[in-house]
Amino acid sequence: MNQYSTTLMEGGVFIPNAESYAKFAVFSLGKTKRTTGYWSHGIQYCVAQFAPEWARTIIGGTMNKVFRKEYYAQQKATKAK
């Protein structure tokens, strides 16, 4: 699902690997009515709730541009091979 982006595939604090995400998500089942699935996503959600809509829109748009640029660069490199 994340193969279009090497940044997402490498992971990090806010980008867990599939095994970590699934483990945490399953652990939270039945313990709460609502979950983001992963602890760091909960932090992101909390911060986003306090940010104004215009800021969330700019941040989301910027992230999408970065991922799109990375995807097109990856596609170009694949075609060059």
Residue 78 has pLDDT above 70, yes or no: yes
Give the angle 38-36-40 at the CA atoms, nearest 5°: 40
- Maximal CA-CA distance, the chain: 50
Residues β-bridged to residue 15: 12
Q: For residue 21, give both structure tokens.
A: 């995400």
AA identity, residue 28: S
Cβ atoms within 10 Å of 38's Cβ, excluding its own: 19
Residue 37 has pLDDT above 90, yes or no: no
| Mean pLDDT for the chain overall | 86
- Report pLDDT digits (tens) over 3-22: 666 676 666 777 888 888 89
